[in-house]
Amino acid sequence: MARLEDAGVRLDRGLTEADVKRVEKKFGFSFGPDHRALLRTALPLGDAWLNWRHATPGKIRERLQAPVEGLMFDVLNNGFWVAGWGARPEDPLAAERTAREALAQVPVLIPLYGHRYLPAAPAPEGSPVYSVDRSDVLVYGGDLLEYVDVEFGEAEPPQSPPADRPRLDFWSDLAATA
């Protein structure tokens, strides 16, 4: 919290456990342990932080869907395709359907700040923070504390996903190829 305060991030009182459970139930995910701990301690506000207490359901859904929708944009417009999805169908609608089916199986990312995301539970404590801008996926911090130093301090993002940190299926693979 001190690192965020030093960076000028406005911190509101943390969410109650009931607040967290209400958000999780309404939107169908569970916060990972680091994200939950942050939000229970303090709710960062302003700039590109998502106000989990007062944002509209539409805004929250939009931010939750942004990683997949960004990838779909690149599938439909820029030839993005993951080899693990099999041969790319010639028909654009079939390609979209195949990609959406595959993406429905990948771990869910939860908005943290702007286009930075933490994985939803069951991701373990110490999971990386991902920067996801369409198909441009990077690890932007080996964990939440490192991320804060990168985003709001002097540290540089890691050049590759840290080997000593949890891997997240699909997202870590995309980050490794960036």
Q: How far apart are CA 147 and CA 141, in angstroms?
A: 4
Indicate if the alpha-carbon torsion angle 125, 71, 30, 40 is positive or negative: positive
**Residue ranges per structural domain of the chain:** 2-176
Cβ-count burial 57-89 (b if 16+ within 10 Å, e if not):
eeebeebbebbbebbbebbeeeebbbeeeeebe
pLDDT in tens, 87-123: 999 999 999 999 999 999 999 999 999 999 999 999 9
The CA-based angle 61-65-67, given to 5 degrees, is 145
Q: What is the pTM of this model?
A: 0.93
Dig out the tokens for 123 from the structure: 């991701």
pLDDT of residue 156: 87
Question: What percentage of the chain exceeds 70 in pLDDT?
Answer: 98
Q: How far apart are CA 10 and CA 101, in angstroms?
A: 39
pLDDT higher at 157 or 103: 103
pLDDT in tens, 76-93: 999 999 999 999 999 999
Would you place residue 178 in the very low, low, confident or very high pLDDT band (cuts 50, 70, 90)? low
pLDDT of residue 77: 96
DSSP-assigned letter for residue 156: P
Would you place residue 153 in the very low, low, confident or very high pLDDT band (cuts 50, 70, 90)? confident
pLDDT in tens, 136-151: 999 999 999 999 999 9
pLDDT of residue 4: 92
Count H helices, E strands: the chain? 7, 6
pLDDT of residue 83: 94
pLDDT in tens, 38-56: 999 999 999 899 999 999 9
3-state SS class at 112:
strand
pLDDT in tens, 19-42: 999 999 999 999 999 999 999 999
pLDDT of residue 159: 73
